Amino acid sequence: MNFHDLTRQLQRQSESKIVLLVADGLGGLPMKPGDKTELETAITPNLDALAKRGTLGLSTPVLPGITPGSGPGHLGLFGYDPVVYNIGRGVLEALGIDFELGPKDVAIRGNYCSLDEEGKISDRRAGRIGSDVGAKLCKKLDKIEIPGVEVFVRHVKEYRLVIVFRGEGLEGDVHDTDPQRTGVEPLEPTARSEGSAKTVEIAKQFLAQAREILKDDFPANFLTLRGIAKKPDIPTYEEVYGTRSAAIAVYPMYRGLARLVGMDVLDAGQTLDDQCARLEAAWDDYDFFFMHFKYTDSTGEDGNFDAKVKRIEEFDAAIPKITGLNPDVIVVTGDHSTPSKMKSHSWHPVPTMIAADNCRYDACDTFGEATCLTGGLGQFPAKYLMSLALAHAGRLEKYGA
């Protein structure tokens, strides 16, 4: 019996409410030994107040030492083993913009990038061009034609886009073309398995046409391909947990992750205040809410320690709007760590807190990496966070006689 078979068996209906608050890339590092992390530096009276009536710990998104992408990080939080369910980012981006993927589709996450005169990448995100520029470029690329397949190009947000190839005999087992560093040329698409050879040839044709179309559009004069995949079969939240679940997220990828596992994706506006207002409006309609805050991750990736601190403080300021709704369980965590010191995702365990009336309280009275290290949850795989949340919400029956 696997984990989801067990939760199906133990489901208990309840009027309790669970809120999962995810500050993307929450975990950090001190810039030098003896200093504090971003979370420990931030002034967070509301998170600290929650810590006093909760239990703290550190969650491992995938496995010790493994640095997760946002997809695996969130799937772990949702209770899906990210080693078993390895979902391509292209699928998540497509679902996040409400693109209906079919069985003949291969979805790809694209990033506009900047190429220098030697054809080497000088900026992996094309200077973070605005959505107005990105959308115009997508319209140009959407005119690409390749014999034997349909090609769809859709704008996502800023420098991000989705490409979908639709045709017979396509598989998604293809390496990314993003080398994950600057000063080198984009990689050529290559197949991980023989069945994806056709997809590779189509991707090469697409990139050749794209290079010509975008050659005069610096800083977005090319693009890289990531997360090339087909949509998998995956059990839904209602099936495995018995909850009516909703997602309140701004960025398309996270909306796509939620849709993939069967959550209703609610309009969330553009700000954290908008998200809190949407939560309140939908409060009576759902049992479980996933709320996502992006900017703790993007500031960490930029290496901007002070900006990440300010974003954590912004996140903290929203807590009273959520606790004011009296949820039975509040979970606060991140999908992975993004230390400003490293300017990237990292393998470090993520600060995690569960606050509920039936917590076994520990001695922690602030929310930070050092206190989480001593907390009552200990260090645990993130894939068990959902069962902990369900148990604290009275939504799991006793196992066995």
Minimal CA–CA distance to 175: which of 205, 157, 197, 150?
Answer: 197
Q: Which amino acid is at 69?
A: G
For 324-334, the pLDDT digits (tens) are: 999 999 999 99
The pLDDT mean for the chain works out to 96
Please give the pLDDT value at position 268.
87
Residue 88 pLDDT level (bands cut at 50, 70, 90): confident
Which residues make up the CATH 3.40.720.10 domain(s) of the chain? 3-86+235-392
**pLDDT > 90: percent of the chain:** 93
CB burial class (10 A; 0-12, 13-18, 19+) of residue 14?
A: middle
Sequence letter at residue 283: W
Rounded mean pLDDT, 276-296: 97
- Pull the structure tokens for residue 348: 């470090």
pLDDT exceeds 90 at position 233 = no
Residue 249 has pLDDT above 90, yes or no: yes
Position 253 confidence tier, pLDDT thresholds 50, 70, 90? confident
Say which CATH topology domain 3-86+235-392 has: Alkaline Phosphatase, subunit A (3.40.720)
Q: Is the pLDDT of residue 290 over 90?
A: yes
Asked whether residue 232 carries a pLDDT value surpassing 90, the answer given is: no
- pLDDT band at residue 181, thresholds of 50, 70 and 90? very high
In b/e form, how buried is each residue of 189-207, taking b as 16+ CB within 10 angstroms?
Answer: bebeeeebebbbebbebbb
The predicted pLDDT at position 340 comes to 98
Q: Are 108 and 120 in contact (CB under 8 A)?
A: no
Distances (CA, A) of 11 to 7, 240, 262, 271, 396: 6, 8, 17, 34, 5
How far apart are the C-alpha atoms of 298 and 302, rounded to whole Å? 6
User: Could you give the angle at the alpha carbon of 138 between the alpha carbons of 135 and 139, nearest 5°?
Assistant: 95
pLDDT of residue 341: 98
Output the pLDDT for position 96: 86
How far apart (Å, rounded) are the C-alpha atoms in residues 388 and 383?
A: 10
Encode pLDDT of 34-76 as tens digits.
Answer: 999 999 999 999 999 999 999 999 999 999 999 999 999 999 9
| Cross-strand partners of 290 | 20, 247
**Rounded distance between C-alpha atoms, residue 401 and residue 391, angstroms:** 18
pLDDT band at 98 (very low <50, low <70, confident <90, very high): confident
Of 389 and 88, the one with more pLDDT: 389
Kindly indicate the confidence band of residue 87, based on its pLDDT and cuts at 50, 70 and 90: confident
* Integer Cα distance of 190 and 171 in angstroms: 12
Region 173-195 average pLDDT = 95
State the CB neighbour count (10 A cutoff) for residue 148. Answer: 12
